[in-house]
Structure 1
Amino acid sequence: MPMKKVCPRCGATFDCMHNDILSCHCATVRLDALQRTYLMENYSDCLCHDCLKAVKDSFYACEINPRYNKKKNDKESIDCKQR
């Protein structure tokens, strides 16, 4: 049975399928280990689909999360000091 939750990031109400995780909206957003760590450190509960997608899409932008920026030798990284 779905559980109604309020997203701690944006305040939207959504259904959490904690008892059927494969049917839950969070199972459709693939996050890497750093993104998951960021969420665990900054939010005490589930985020809605839109916020999970926003974190995934903007996570490595320096203005958003410089602490989690990829290492300099990573070809996909953004060098914040050159901006």
Structure 2
Amino acid sequence: MSVVFQKHETIHCDRCNAPFECKANSYTKCQCSNVYLTINEVQYVSELYDGCLCVNCLRDLQKEYQGTL
């Protein structure tokens, strides 16, 4: 019996185009799970971008949103 390891997909950030490994099928291991956004921050980001964003962009947008309050 052979074991097949599924490699996570490398995608590019919709905001800065930086490559990163998407682990949407293992959310708790995904880099984005380290950024804690409020529901309002999630809505703000989702109004600007449709796809996945890297951690740096998520944090930048979080700061941007908090600066508009």
> Shorter-chain TM-score: which interval?
0.7 to 0.9
SS in 2 for 1:15: strand
Size of the aligned set, in residue pairs, is 63
Letter in 1 for 2:48: N
Equivalent runs, 1:38-77 vs 2, <5 Å:
38-62=44-68, 69=69
For the Cα contact (< 8 Å) 2:44–2:65, is it kept in 1? no
Q: How many angstroms does 1:41 deviate by?
A: 1.3
SS in 2 for 1:57: helix
Q: Deviations over 1:28-81 (max 9, x none)?
A: 00000111001111111010011011112332213xxxxxx3xxxxxxxxxxxx
SS in 1 for 2:66: coil
SS in 1 for 2:10: strand
Query: What is the distance in 2 between the residues matched to 1:29 and 1:60?
Result: 14
Query: What is the distance in 2 between the residues matched to 1:26 and 1:37?
Result: 15
More helix by share: 2
Q: CA RMSD in A?
A: 1.2
TM-score by length of 1: 0.69
Unaligned runs of 5+ in 2: 1-6
Unaligned runs of 5+ in 1: 63-68, 70-83
